[in-house]
Amino acid sequence: MRVTEPDRDPARGRPPLEIDAFVGRAAELADLGRALGAGRLVTVTGPGGVGKSRLAARAAADRTPRDGVWCVDLTPVRDPRWVDHAVVAALGLTDHTTRTPRETLLSDLADRELLLVLDGFEHLVDDCADLVAELLGRVPGLTVLAVGRRPLALAGERVLALAPLPEDDAVALFLERAAALGTTPADDADVREVCRRLDGIPLAVELAAGRLGALSPGRLLERLDDRFRLLSGDRRDAPPRHRTLRTAIGWSHELCTPPQRLLWARLSVFAGHFDLEAVEYVCAGHGLASDDVLDVLSELLTQSVLAREETPTGVRYRMLDTVRAYGAGWLAVTGDERRLRRRHRDWYLGLATWCEVEWFSPRQAEVAARVEAELPNLRRALEHSLAEPDEAHLGQHLAGSLWFYWAGCGRLSEGRHWLDQAVRAGSGHGGARLKALWVLGYVAVLQGDAEGAPAALRACRQEAELFADPTAVAYAEHRTGCLALVSDDLPRAETLLRSALARYRELGELNSNVLMGQVELAMARAFQGDLPDAVRLCEDVRRVCEDHGERWTRGYALYVLAYAAWAEDDQGAARALLVESLSGAHAFRDLLGSVLSVELLALVTAAEGDPAEAAVLQGAAGRMWPSVGLPLFGSAHYNAPHERCEALAREALGDARYERWLREGAALAPEAAVARALGRPPEAPGGGARGPVRAAAGVGTHEPAASRAHKGGETAG
């Protein structure tokens, strides 16, 4: 018979009192509290060191069930047969009968109301799940808060997947723990970079703060490449699995099966997010059957080694850098790293090639989003290729294939970085080098590099003729014509662009680049006064783009058509064309296309009778120009709309008020500026239709209501 009553003191099994400050996690704590109030089984999951136990303890301390909160640490238990014994012991139950521990639990808990916290169950998941299922089914007053790296997978289970700390909270934790140790670092760039490099994992951040007695944040940052050796601690009260970062992550590794460990190691070649198709291509084979990849990946998700995210490009997976670094160590041990990195490079080279082709299609927006999502992996593929002398040509091809992204999606600076490296790399493959050269020249033109652009294009033309590569000759000639256009050498630009377009026709080349050459020729014709020819060329581009679903080059064609409509005093048509052009350019993050459209919209706005709003848009464009790269304000032809608009607005408003509205526009962030340019209703003073600004005194001085509200009592100067 049972001879000792259980200790029913509600304080006995409560979580230990907190000694150091609890930092952040307000939202997660609230979510966990709501989950505990709504269900009887709640499981907190997440990778090692992310703060699951601390969050659960804090949430449990806030609960007040009649018979208390009881915490069971299962991490020391190795034999599944001792799970029930561990819970019995933690609850303070003693029984001298022949009953099993399970029977003791069911008997003594039957009429009790309590919260049972099971921490560190992941290595005993099947036996814990069996126990919890039976207890919940037969003890109506019981609520279970489970804490582990995977769910219990029971009916009614509510799962809270705990993510690392956001940057500000991670920095706050770092500074708080540092202060507790007697050091007071500033919240500076080094501290923030340390926290970013450690993924905001609380354990890693705390261990890093513990090193500040010997290292400054800057020196700590320098040593993080060997984070597992650096981040160890000596706190005697810390759980053994949390005394070093290596053991915290290694505990998850021990719980994995050999196939799971193998996939973990191979996944370390990825950077950032990745998708299932990439994993199946890169990681399958050599001990891991392709048909098994999905199942093994699912298990790594379950064990919190991976995280799953819904993104605009579909379901993707990610691995914390600390978890990735642990896997990379194991991959190096296997001796398979070089093969995996080549597989990774091959996949992303193929992806870039596909994206280049699909850019000239209705999937243009999808392609832009896909490259944006895959950029960390594309960078890694570029790094690998350009670091290997015998694979430099693949890096050149990859950097060149992404021309549409560098030029069309606001990545000129990064594109220039990779293209410069690619051109410098030795390569015996002329075609790949020539492509990198003309793309480098194109990017340099858009950046306004008066030395780099002609040098690259000259080298491309000379080498292309030497190797008898007519396609590279056509692209070099095209981009040289583009350089002449932005340099105001219109006759030369027209000659080169016509020649390049003839070469493209002879080669059967048709893509966004080719059509852009036709738009650039149209600009040259328009700037020389032949608007009908410019309109003819751009209407043809518009038709071809619509046939192929192309939106990027089409936006530039619409800009030229809007310019012609403005010149013909058809401001309604000009505005409609520019709104469409600006919408497309902004969607692709094409700063050049955006700022050109905003500048011309300012002129149209002035012509419609609203000089104040025109000045606001000019100010907004002025803020955007420094980020564009190409200094078109030095071009008499590209700058003509700006100068014409300024003259109209200054005449109507006077210098002081013009400058005031210009400053208002310059204060707008680019997103707000584009929204204003796109969303402003075309109202005229008194509700009538807009008309051109006249030179007569008092005409064209209308200001929008928002502008008038800012002006207050100011009078015209």
* Structural contact between residues 519 and 556, judged by C-beta atoms closer than 8 angstroms: yes
pLDDT of residue 175: 87
DSSP-assigned beta bridge partners for residue 114? 142
Dist CA 464 CA 433 (whole Å): 10
pLDDT of residue 245: 65
Domain boundary among 201, 223, 249: 249
Q: Does 15 map to a domain?
A: no
pLDDT at 547 over 90: yes
The average pLDDT across 95-122 equals 88
The average pLDDT across 36-40 equals 93
Other beta carbons within 10 angstroms of residue 493's beta carbon come to 25
| pLDDT band at residue 497 under the 50/70/90 scheme | very high
Percentages (nearest 5) of helix, strand, coil residues in the chain: 65, 5, 30
Are 84 and 142 part of one and the same domain? yes
More confident residue, 492 or 174: 492
> Following DSSP, what letter does each residue of 188-224 receive, concatenated?
-HHHHHHHHHTTT-HHHHHHHHTTTTT--HHHHHHTG
Are 149 and 177 part of one and the same domain? no
| Domain carrying residue 636 | 569-711
Q: Does 495 map to a domain?
A: no
Q: Does 11 map to a domain?
A: no
% pLDDT > 70, the chain: 87
DSSP-assigned beta bridge partners for residue 116? 70, 144
Q: Does 670 map to a domain?
A: yes
Are 114 and 227 part of one and the same domain? no
Are 209 and 148 part of one and the same domain? no
pLDDT of residue 193: 87
Q: Does 41 map to a domain?
A: yes
The average pLDDT across 416-420 equals 95
pLDDT at 213 over 60: yes
Domain boundary among 229, 249, 269: 249
Are 197 and 147 part of one and the same domain? no
Are 191 and 140 part of one and the same domain? no
pLDDT at 232 over 60: no
The average pLDDT across 101-113 equals 91
| pLDDT band at residue 632 under the 50/70/90 scheme | low
Q: Does 562 map to a domain?
A: no
The average pLDDT across 699-703 equals 34
Are 99 and 210 part of one and the same domain? no
Tens digits of residue pLDDT in 66-93: 899 999 988 888 888 889 988 988 888 8
CATH code, domain carrying 65: 3.40.50.300
Are 156 and 205 part of one and the same domain? no
- Please state, in angstroms and as integers, the Cα–Cα distance from residue 108 to each residue in 95, 104, 369, following that order: 10, 6, 58
Are 133 and 183 part of one and the same domain? no
Q: Does 33 map to a domain?
A: yes
Are 577 and 676 part of one and the same domain? yes
Domain count, the chain: 3
Are 591 and 672 part of one and the same domain? yes
> Following DSSP, what letter does each residue of 581-612 receive, concatenated?
HHHHHHHTT-HHHHHHHHHHHHHHHHHTT-HH
pLDDT of residue 587: 93
Domain boundary among 231, 249, 267: 249
Dist CA 555 CA 573 (whole Å): 15
Tens digits of residue pLDDT in 251-276: 677 778 899 999 999 999 999 899 99
Are 171 and 157 part of one and the same domain? no
pLDDT of residue 4: 36
Q: Does 243 map to a domain?
A: yes
